[in-house]
Amino acid sequence: MVFSSLLFIFRFLPIILLLYFIVPRGWRNAVLFFGSLIFYAWGEPVYVVLMLFSTAVDFTHGWFIRRSLDAGKKRRAKLTLISAVVINLTLLGVFKYTDFLIGLLNQAFGLAIPLPGLPLPIGISFYTFQTMSYSIDVYRGDAHVQKNIIDFGAYVTMFPQLIAGPIVRYQTVAKELNERRESASLFADGIALFMAGLGKKVLLANNIGLLWDAVAAMPAGQLAAATAWLGALAYGFQIYFDFSGYSDMARGLGLMLGFHFPLNFDYPYISRSVTEFWRRWHISLGTWFREYVYIPLGGNRKGLAVQLRNILIVWTLTGIWHGASLNFLVWGLYFGVLLAAEKLFLLSWLERMPRAVGWLYTTFVWLVGWVIFASVDGAGGPEYFASLFGAGNAIDNTTLYLLRNYGGMLILCILGSTPLAKKLFLRARKAVGGADGQGLAWQFAFSAASALLFLVCTAYLVDATYNPFLYFRF
């Protein structure tokens, strides 16, 4: 995939930004729409048609829903909404789960049905949820119907967050689609956020990912326990800095274009419960499931038993949303059961304990969770878990070798996953830039630091041959 490389994004950005700002304001959504289509088509030339189809489906369904509601025909509006949801979920199901389901049938009944082997359209899990949110919001009256398909297409295909989120609900940016105001200060804030995300991805995620790659390449059943835990920690940091880095880059680009995309990560690794962790991790996905699945099912309004049922349903769906593999289903159920346990008794117990107890418990939970999650690549599974919990040596020379080579990077990742860096940045901005943080000295220092970070990241990218974002696969 060509645009799995950040270097392609760098080549694309100057062109699209230049066109965006030189055309009249009324044409900017068209630049976003067609520019984003070119961006997507460069890597997915066939499946751009699928995305256009999904765009057309929800645009027309939204129009029919609004027209039916205005005519007082709520039943027809509801049927139209059901039609939109079924079409979107069918598209997602066919391309994402067909091989998986056929494989299960073959195993269960001894069949030999050939697998279609359909390539997964990149970003389909994200833009399908976005387009569905539009039809649902129009039906609920939470968003006005969009009458211009170019404007709607710009929302669906918007290249900054098209491929891996954050999932932007239509109502979040509905006003900005037509009334946004770009500014130099907003553009500067966007650059700062983009550069922070770039640094997370290139300097932290890619480098700590080398530790995970090294551990995953070893025979899982022969790992010392400490080595297995190092691998789990490395994967947890890799996926966090990779995904949150992409989200920051997307939000930064959004600010440059005048859009305010929602925060997607809020330092989840400082959490002291699983409940808190999932309020801080992939916030846009959690919000989507809460608004469009959990609450419509009754949320917590119909008693504890129904609430626990709803939690398990949402987390089953959350698991399989990530991929057509049994490990994702197990991963979703794992967190669903823990969240249900916290609702029943565990959370109230944790609140009475010292803060460190809650943090250690939550850290243990997400470390084990990431091993389950990573099993899709064959790096987890029973043998890895056996090593994780002491089937072999506690520690060996391999562990010490990995610590010597990656200890500094682990420390950087630990510090980078806390609010410390942000606090230091804000403190330096105030000290150098004055009360408003906009002084000339700060602007010069920040520009120089950003240029240096960009050069370092570019050097890393040029030296590497492959820099995919992990969540592109979902």
Q: With respect to residue 291, please indicate whether it lies within any of the assigned structural domains.
A: yes
62 and 152 fall within a common domain: yes
Q: Flag whether pLDDT at 176 surpasses 60.
A: yes
Q: With respect to residue 214, please indicate whether it lies within any of the assigned structural domains.
A: yes
- Distance of CA 375 to CAs 165, 327, 400, Å? 23, 6, 25
Boundary residue ending a domain (146, 180, 214): 180
Q: Flag whether pLDDT at 353 surpasses 80.
A: yes
| Averaged confidence pLDDT in the chain | 87
Q: Flag whether pLDDT at 2 surpasses 70.
A: no
Q: With respect to residue 32, please indicate whether it lies within any of the assigned structural domains.
A: yes
Q: With respect to residue 469, please indicate whether it lies within any of the assigned structural domains.
A: no
How many domains does the chain divide into? Answer: 2
Q: Flag whether pLDDT at 254 surpasses 50.
A: yes
Q: Flag whether pLDDT at 24 surpasses 60.
A: yes
Q: With respect to residue 437, please indicate whether it lies within any of the assigned structural domains.
A: no
Highest mean pLDDT among 162-166, 196-200, 361-365: 361-365
Nearest to 289 by CA among 266, 99, 281: 281
93 is in which domain, residue-wise?
Answer: 2-180
Which entry of 144, 260, 282, 322 is annotated as an active-site residue? 322
Q: Is 260 considered catalytic here?
A: no
- pLDDT, residue 225, reads 92
Lowest mean pLDDT among 53-62, 108-117, 324-333, 358-367: 108-117
214 and 244 fall within a common domain: yes
Mean pLDDT of 445-469: 74
375 and 408 fall within a common domain: yes
For tokens 């820099």, the residue is: 467
> What is the rounded CA–CA span in Å between residue 254 and residue 194?
9
Strand locations in 201-259 (E): none
Amino acid 26 reads G
332 and 268 fall within a common domain: yes
145 and 249 fall within a common domain: no
- pLDDT, residue 184, reads 83
Give the tens place of pLDDT for each residue, 414-436: 999 999 888 887 787 777 766 66
Q: Flag whether pLDDT at 466 surpasses 60.
A: no
